Chains A and B, each alone.
Chain A
Amino acid sequence: KAGVTQTPRYLIKTRGQQVTLSCSPISGHRSVSWYQQTPGQGLQFLFEYFSETQRNKGNFPGRFSGRQFSNSRSEMNVSTLELGDSALYLCASSLGTGRGFGTEAFFGQGTRLTVV
C-alpha cells in the first residue's frame, strides 16, 4: 500500500511570491490534514479537509489556504510569502471518520519550503 506522497520535497521561493504544495493520501483515506513545523513554534495545525470540505482550521492567517479534490488529493497554497513561512510542511492522511479518525494518521515526508 503506497504511503502519503508530498510534492515537491524542496522549494525555494522569494518573498512576495506564492506557492502550492501537493499531498496524495493513502488510498481509501478521505481526510487530509496539514501541519507546519518550525524550530521555534514546533508542529502547528493548519487545516483539515474531508470529502472536499474544510472541516477544521488552525490559527493561521488567510494567506494560507487549501483545497481537496474528489480523489482526496489535497493542495495547500501560501500567498504573499514571508520569511517566517520557511518551514517543513507536513501532510497527514487518515480515514477521517468515527473514533478511528484520530488513531490512524499517517504522515508524508514533507515539503521543505525556504523563503529568501
Chain B
Amino acid sequence: GDSVTQMEGPVTLSEEAFLTINCTYTATGYPSLFWYVQYPGEGLQLLLKATKADDKGSNKGFEATYRKETTSFHLEKGSVQVSDSAVYFCALFSGSARQLTFGSGTQLTVLP
C-alpha cells in the first residue's frame, strides 16, 4: 500500500537558518504530493502541493520538488522565522487508494 516516510524530529534551528525536511514515498501510479503544516491547537493547513513529476510547489518561502526518480518530496526554506515553528506533515494522494496518506510529522522549533 501507499506509505510516506518523513524525517524524524524534533528539529531545532536558529532564526534565518536553512531548513530541509526529508520526505520519501511509496505509491502505485502517479500520486499527488503535499506538505501540510499544523500549528498548536489547530487543524492542518495546506502549505504546498505538486501533482506531477518535476513540479515544484512553493508558498511563503517554502519549496518542494516532486522527484519521481528518487520518490522524494523534500521541504526546504532558505531562511526560517520563529513564526515557522510548527509540525510539518508530508502526504500523498493516490487515485488507487483515494485517501491522503500522511507521514509521521516533523516538529520544527525556530529559536530567536
Contacts of B36 in A (CB 8 A): 107
The digit string for B22-50, where 1 denotes a CB below 8 A from any CB of A, is 00000000011000100001111110010
Find out whether the CB atom of A107 lies under 8 angstroms from the CB atom of B45. yes
- Least CB distance, A72 to chain B, in whole angstroms: 18
Which residues of B54-112 are within 8 A (CB) of A? 89, 93-95, 98-105
- Which secondary structure dominates chain A's binding surface? strand
Find out whether the CB atom of A109 lies under 8 angstroms from the CB atom of B42. yes
> Could you tell me the distance between the alpha carbons of A4 and B51 in the complex, rounded to whole angstroms?
23
The digit string for A38-67, where 1 denotes a CB below 8 A from any CB of B, is 000011010010000001101000000000
- Least CB distance, B43 to chain A, in whole angstroms: 4
Find out whether the CB atom of A33 lies under 8 angstroms from the CB atom of B100. yes
> Could you tell me the distance between the alpha carbons of A101 and B101 in the complex, rounded to whole angstroms?
14
- Least CB distance, B68 to chain A, in whole angstroms: 16
The number of A-B residue pairs with CB atoms under 8 Å apart is 55
Contacts of A103 in B (CB 8 A): 32, 49, 51, 93
- Least CB distance, A101 to chain B, in whole angstroms: 8
- Least CB distance, B51 to chain A, in whole angstroms: 6
- Least CB distance, B75 to chain A, in whole angstroms: 17
Find out whether the CB atom of B104 lies under 8 angstroms from the CB atom of A107. no
A102 contacts which of B45, B89, B100, B105 (Cβ < 8 Å)? Answer: B100
Find out whether the CB atom of B102 lies under 8 angstroms from the CB atom of A110. no
Contacts of A56 in B (CB 8 A): 98-99
Find out whether the CB atom of A107 lies under 8 angstroms from the CB atom of B43. yes
Find out whether the CB atom of B99 lies under 8 angstroms from the CB atom of A45. yes
Find out whether the CB atom of A58 lies under 8 angstroms from the CB atom of B105. no
For residue A112, which residue of chain B has the nearest CB? B41
| A1 on interface, CB distance cutoff 8 Å | no
Q: Using CB atoms and an 8 Å cutoff, list the residues of chain B in contact with chain A.
A: 31-32, 36, 41-46, 49, 51, 89, 93-95, 98-105
